[in-house]
Amino acid sequence: MTAEAVAIETVRRRRSAFRFAAAPLTWIGAALIALIIVAALLAPWIAPYDPLEQSIADRLMPPSAEHLLGTDSFGRDVLSRLIHAARISLAVGVLSIALAMVAGCAIGITAGWIGGWFDSLVMGALDVLMSFPSLLLGLMVVAMLGPSLEHLVLAIAITELAPFARVARAPTLALKERDFIEAGRALGLSELRIIVVHVVPNLLGDVVVVASLWLATAIRTEASLSFIGLGVKPPTPTWGGMLREGFETILDAPWLSVAPSLAILATVLALNMIGDGLRDAVDPRLRRD
Partner 1 sequence: MSDEILIVDGVSKSFPAGGGWLRQRRVVQAVDNVSFSVVRGNSFGLVGESGCGKSTLARCLLRLIRPDRGRVMFEGTDIVQLGRRALRRARRRLQIVFQDPYASLSPRRTVFQTLAEPLVVHGIARGAALRPRVQAALAEVGLPAEVAERYPHEFSGGQRQRIGIARALMLEPALIVADEPVSALDVSVQAQILRLLEGLRNRRGLSFVFVSHDLAVVRHFCDQVAVMYLGRIVELGPTRKVLEQPLHPYTRMLRLASPVPDPAARFKLPRIEGEIPSALAPPSGCPFHPRCPDAMPVCAAVRPRTVEPEAGRRVECHLYG
Partner 2 sequence: MTEPVLAIRNLAVEFRSRDGWLPAVRGIDLDLAPNETLALVGESGSGKSLTALAIMGLVPGPAGRIAAGSSIRFEGEELVGASEKALDAVRGNRIAMIFQEPMTALNPTMTVGAQIAEAIRVHRGLGRDAAWRESERLLDLVKVPSRRRRMHDYPHQFSGGMRQRVMIAIALACRPRVLLADEPTTALDVTIQAQVLGLLEDLKREHGLAVLFITHNLGVVALIADRVAVMYAGEIVESGRVEAIFAAPKHPYTLGLLGSTLRIDRDIEALQPIPGSVPAPGALGRGCAFAPRCPRAVSRCETEPPPLEAVAPGRLVRCWMPA
Binding site for partner 2 (CB under 8 A): 3-7, 9
Per CB under 8 A, 56 contacts partner 1: no
Q: Tell the smallest beta-carbon distance from residue 188 to partner 1 (Å).
A: 4
- Least distance CB 179 / partner 2 (angstroms): 19
Question: Is residue 2 packed enough to be buried (19+ CB in 10 Å), middle (13-18) or exposed (0-12)?
Answer: exposed
Minimum distance of partner 1 from residue 81's CB (angstroms): 45
Q: State the minimum distance, in angstroms, from the CB of residue 281 to partner 1.
A: 15
Residue 182, binding choice from partner 1, partner 2, none, Cβ under 5 to 8 Å by partner class = partner 1
Options 65, 116, 144, 179; binder of partner 1; rule CB under 8 A: 179
Query: Rounded to an integer, what distance in angstroms lies between the CA atom of residue 44 and that of residue 41?
Result: 8
Of partner 1, partner 2, none, which one sits near residue 183, judging by CB under 5 to 8 A according to partner kind? Answer: partner 1
- Which residue lies nearer to partner 2 by CB, 218 or 281? 281
184-197: b (≥16 Cβ within 10 Å) or e: beeeebeeeebbee
State which residue, 3 or 65, has the beta carbon closest to partner 2: 3
- CA–centroid distance for 75 within its chain: 32
Among 57, 128, 187, 192, binds partner 1 (CB under 8 A): 187
Contacts of 21 (CB under 8 A, 6+ apart): 27
String marking each residue 13-32 x if it binds partner 1 according to CB under 8 A? x-------------------
Asked if 232 and 214 count as a contact pair (C-beta separation under 8 A), the reply is: no
Three-state DSSP at 71 gives strand
Q: How many CA atoms lie within 13 A of 47 on its CB side?
A: 24
Comparing CB distances to partner 2, the nearer of 10 and 131 is: 10
| 193 interface partner picked from partner 1, partner 2, none, CB below 5 to 8 A per type | partner 1
Rg (CA), the chain: 24
Q: How far is CA 4 from CA 1, 7, 10, 11, 98, in A?
A: 5, 9, 18, 20, 50
Q: Give the one entry of partner 1, partner 2, none that residue 188 binds, where binding means its C-beta sits below a cut-off of 5 to 8 angstroms depending on kind.
A: partner 1
**242-38-92 Cα angle (round to 5):** 50
Q: Which residue of 128, 186, 192, 251 would you call a contact of partner 1, by CB under 8 A?
A: 186
The listed partner (partner 2, partner 1, none) that binds 233, CB under 5 to 8 Å by sort, is none
| Residue 47: closest CA among 71, 81, 72 | 81
- Does 1 help bind partner 1 (rule: CB under 8 A)? yes
Q: Which of 116, 117, 144, 188 touches partner 1 (CB under 8 A)?
A: 188
The residue within the footprint of partner 1, chosen from 66, 127, 150, 182 (CB under 8 A), is 182
Choose the binding region for partner 1 from 82-90, 146-154, 192-200, 240-248 (rule: CB under 8 A).
192-200
Helix (H, G, I), strand (E, B) or coil at 77: strand
How far is it, in rounded angstroms, from Cα 219 to Cα 240?
A: 9
What is the rounded distance in angstroms from the CA atom of residue 38 to the CA atom of residue 32?
Answer: 10
Q: Tell me the C-alpha distance between 228 and 138, whole Å.
A: 11
Q: Which residues form the interface with partner 1 (CB under 8 A)?
A: 1, 4-6, 8-11, 13, 178-180, 182-190, 193, 197-198, 201-202
